[in-house]
């Protein structure tokens, strides 16, 4: 078995290659690892060797950033700042298929909704927002689009990032 570690934007992505399994089963299926990234305010995907870069978003009036893969790799969530003036006073959370199709706006208000992350089971997205007057954490259910505030204490922008526990219970 091989392990390959690639560092991208200070985050280590670990790829596990079970070559022996493919050999044993007689499969010749290639392993297709993709990286999602932001370039010039747009979302792109590329192969893990840097080839095949393809633009997924084309938003001339907005700034797209913070792309995150869904746990099953079929979708990408990202933050869209609603103007390119870089005042960053309004942003929303969006999700799209991994090929850039079926773009959906998950949040819609005049505040900052950002710093999102997928629940391990892919059914919810947690994000930080200023919609209550201070930085708070919210969770959106992707089936119903119901949004629930889960903190009530205010946070400064430096502590606005959120993450799920590995089992998704916290």
The rounded distance, in Å, linking the Cα atoms of 59 and 38 is: 12
Q: pLDDT value at position 49?
A: 86
Indicate the SS3 state at residue 12.
strand
**Cβ–Cβ < 8 Å for 101, 122:** no
Whether pLDDT at 132 is above 70: yes
Q: How confident is the model at residue 168 (pLDDT cuts 50, 70, 90)?
A: confident
Neighbours of 12 (CB within 10 A): 8
Which pLDDT belongs to residue 10? Answer: 31
Q: What 3-state class would DSSP assign to 14? A: strand
Is the dihedral angle over the CA atoms 130, 132, 136, 141 positive or is it negative?
negative
pLDDT at residue 83, as a whole number: 73
- pLDDT of 6: 39
Question: What would the pLDDT profile of 60-103 be if each residue is shown by its tens digit?
Answer: 788 999 999 999 999 999 999 887 666 667 899 999 999 999 99
Q: Which CATH entry fits the domain spanning 34-159: 3.40.50.620, 2.120.10.30, 3.90.245.10, 3.10.180.10?
A: 2.120.10.30
24: enclosing H helix or E strand: helix 19-25
Q: Taking a C-beta distance cutoff of 8 angstroms, is the pair 142, 123 a contact?
A: yes
Q: Dump pLDDT digits (tens) for 139-161.
A: 999 999 999 999 887 655 545 67
Quick: pLDDT tens for 24-48. 333 333 446 788 988 888 999 998 8
What pLDDT is recorded for position 48? 84
Which of the two residues, 87 and 53, has the higher pLDDT score? 53
């Amino acid at each position: 078995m091989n392990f390959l570690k690639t560092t991208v934007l200070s985050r280590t992505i670990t790829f596990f290659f079970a070559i022996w399994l493919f050999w044993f089963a007689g499969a010749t299926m290639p392993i297709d690892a993709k990286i999602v990234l932001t370039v010039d305010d747009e979302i792109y995907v590329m192969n893990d060797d840097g080839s095949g870069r393809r633009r997924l978003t084309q938003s001339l009036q907005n700034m797209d950033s913070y792309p995150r893969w869904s746990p099953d790799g079929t979708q990408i969530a990202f933050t869209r700042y609603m103007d390119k003036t870089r005042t960053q006073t309004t942003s929303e959370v969006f999700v799209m298929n991994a090929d850039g199709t079926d773009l959906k706006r998950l949040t819609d208000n005049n505040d900052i909704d950002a710093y999102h992350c997928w629940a391990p089971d892919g059914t919810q997205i947690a994000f930080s927002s200023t919609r209550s007057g201070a930085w708070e954490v919210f969770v959106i259910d992707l089936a119903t689009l119901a949004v629930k505030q889960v903190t009530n204490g205010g946070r400064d922008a430096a502590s606005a990032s959120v993450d799920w526990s590995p089992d998704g219970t916290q």
